[in-house]
Structure 1
Amino acid sequence: MPLEIVTIPCLSDNYAFLAHDAASGQTALVDAPEPGPILEALDARAWTLSHVLLTHHHWDHVDGLAGILEKHPAKVIGAAADAYRLPPLDQQVSEGDVFEIGSEPVQVMDVSGHTVGHIAFYMPQSHAVFTADSLMALGCGRLFEGTPAQMWESLSKLAALPDETIVYSGHEYTQSNAKFAITVDPDNPALKQRIADIESARAAGTPTVPSSLALEKATNPFLRAENPEIQAHLSMENAPAADVFAEIRARKDRF
């Protein structure tokens, strides 16, 4: 039985997520931007929080934690590599570790790049991966701490998950990411269709997160550094994919 996953808009453009196991009653929160919307979502469903999963240390992913734990004293899980700058952790995890929410195994992936020590949580039975600011809808996180090679390795790891995986990322940046994506992949019909869909969704006030991994692989330029058309557009035919990715990321930083 897959987990029931709820997307919660927070702050101006963040997302948090609840993942609920009906059989056990356990409920995990992924990231804690602010308490209010998260507590409201729990109350509306009469769910009790059992776990909080933190992806990385940035304030807009952790600052709501104290206010949430006051009402729901849950087990806090985060990266061992990031423990020195995360809120106090009850469980420290690293690449390859597995724990459970109800009967759902949760696999920990090191996706360093945006920060060093950033992790993602993959739930294979629910076909869900929580990527925060690593792989994002039509984008990837700015490289505040890691190198382009690190981020390309992280994105390649995520891209190797099954195509039906749903990507739960941390921000509503998709419309602005689309404006950049079309500049490096201008002849991609799937991207053109996605841009139209994004504009319709945002006009209706609908989130563009989550998205499918298959859609990201077809349209997200940061996953497509090996694509010959993108390489040709950048005059980087047959260049190493990590170098092409670095050029795409540098262009986005200047965009």
Structure 2
Amino acid sequence: MFQGNNGSNTANTGDKSAFVTAVLKNDGQTTYALKGGDSQSGGLTTWWNGALPTRPGYRPMHQEGGIILGTGGDNSNWNRGTFFEGVMVAGLPSGTTENAVQANIVSVGYSGETNVPNGPQGRITGPGGKCADVAGDDTAVNGAAVRLWDCQNYAEDQYWTQQSAGSLSTIGRCLDITGNETTNGTLVELWDCNGGANQVWKQQSNGSLLNPRSGRCLDSPNASTANGTRLEIWDCNGTSAQTFTLH
């Protein structure tokens, strides 16, 4: 995509595949071309082939070529980052050369998920198929409410890792029983992982998550499935209100 003093090319709709090949060639004097395609199959489509922008510095070109191999984003929990693999060729490549590069890329067989956080993480799904979610737009602060919410691929705070000691962690903190209490109705929250017994959760055969210290299970009050429902602990009863599956 080029956005400059000549405006944008609205006819270029880009490529919506999970893995994308993008090709730029430029003779540095009068013309440049953009091509793209699915890195998993097929060939390249020409998105633009025409005059260089009239903006100073683009005709003739005085910049040297370069390839960006990765971007890190803004360092937030929403940041996904992007990884690029690059190819540079000498001179102005022919269509035959570009097609050969695309065929080589397709032959690699890129695959896998590109829209979920990386690592050994899984969701905790509960009543109504909703996800255990941390309030506050992926910000990891002590005391943040843990609640039910619609499952979202890009919500980093809906992806949990089960640690060897039995704790469940997301965005750097653990699922915790507030105040180290053991009574029915005590809310759960996010807190610094500390190895405490109030942060241990054991998956049961009936789908519930048991905290051994309190002898109680993770629970959605009144089996609510509404977004924003605060989760609590309650006497284990095997009902749908306590069906929380880590997967």
Fold shared by both chains (TM-score > 0.5): no
TM-score (norm. length: structure 1):
0.25
TM-score (norm. length: structure 2):
0.25
Question: Which is richer in helix?
Answer: 1
User: Which has the larger Rg?
Assistant: 2
